[in-house]
């Protein structure tokens, strides 16, 4: 049993044990104030740092694999005339993914046009994975990466002959921050930028085959 009594600036405690009877310890309030205490401020700072890392630790990448090089003379004077996008069989994606991708690509391509040679882009979404905002909020980076893989055929706008082919692999893991913005649109915009980069010659690996999809 334990019973404490406060008397004039002192705390007296009496402890009863079976063998020794009563033991009384008297501690002044001044001594108690000098005892080490739990650092609540430090713990709060550590918690905030952890949450900041959870929210903002992100990893993003766009890889471009070229299988058929566009002729140099064509690449130096291209302008995108048309673009189309479809979703490959067995790929689950929103019904408007194609139209959004086309719009983003045409917007990005308009800033890179450098001639009068018309080309058309035929795009196929071969992989689409998107982590929901709710999942991001609760799991952060552990929810996995958003993925948008696009196969691109470049056609001569005059006769529809295929003059180039490459694959764009966009992956992004925005961690917990992804719960606070439109992840799907951001992924589409980044993939579209990759499509235009591949068109004008920026490739991760030329003549290489993109990694096989699971």
pLDDT of residue 44: 59
| DSSP letters for 183-194 | HHHHHHHHHHHH
pLDDT of residue 18: 43
Neighbours of 194 (CB within 10 A): 27
pLDDT of residue 24: 41
d(CA 87, CA 142): 27
d(CA 40, CA 167): 52
pLDDT of residue 134: 56
The second-level CATH assignment, the architecture, of 58-206 is 3-Layer(aba) Sandwich (3.40)
Residue matched to tokens 């108690």: 32
Question: For residues 199 and 154, is the Cβ–Cβ distance under 8 A?
Answer: yes
pLDDT of residue 147: 92
Residue matched to tokens 């996008």: 85
Q: Write out the residue limits of the CATH 3.40.50 domain(s) in the chain.
A: 58-206
pLDDT of residue 177: 46
- pLDDT (tens place) for every residue of the chain, 214 residues total: 434 444 344 344 434 344 444 444 444 444 444 544 545 566 555 544 444 444 444 578 899 999 999 998 899 899 999 999 999 999 999 999 999 999 999 999 998 888 899 999 999 999 999 875 455 554 545 446 789 999 999 999 999 999 999 999 999 876 544 444 578 899 999 999 999 999 998 766 655 556 555 5
pLDDT of residue 170: 94
């Amino acid at each position: 049993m334990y019973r404490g009594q406060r008397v004039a600036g002192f705390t007296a405690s009496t402890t009863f044990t079976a063998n020794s009877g009563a033991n009384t310890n008297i501690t002044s309030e001044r001594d108690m104030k000098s005892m080490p205490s739990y650092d609540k401020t430090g713990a709060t700072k550590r918690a905030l740092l952890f949450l900041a890392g959870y929210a903002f630790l992100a990893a993003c990448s766009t890889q471009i694999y070229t299988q058929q090089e566009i002729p140099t003379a064509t690449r130096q004077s291209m302008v995108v005339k048309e673009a189309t996008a479809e979703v490959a069989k067995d790929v689950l994606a929103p019904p408007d993914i194609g139209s959004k991708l086309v719009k983003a690509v045409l917007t990005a391509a308009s800033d890179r046009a450098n001639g009068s040679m018309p080309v058309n882009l035929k795009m196929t979404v071969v992989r689409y994975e998107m982590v929901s905002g709710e999942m991001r909020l609760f799991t952060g980076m552990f929810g996995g990466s958003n993925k948008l893989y696009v196969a691109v055929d470049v056609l001569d706008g005059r006769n529809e002959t295929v003059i180039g082919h490459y694959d764009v692999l966009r992956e992004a893991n925005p961690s917990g921050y992804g719960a606070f913005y439109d992840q799907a649109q951001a992924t589409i915009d980044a993939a579209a930028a990759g499509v235009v980069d591949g068109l004008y010659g920026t490739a991760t690996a030329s003549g290489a085959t993109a990694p096989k999809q699971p």
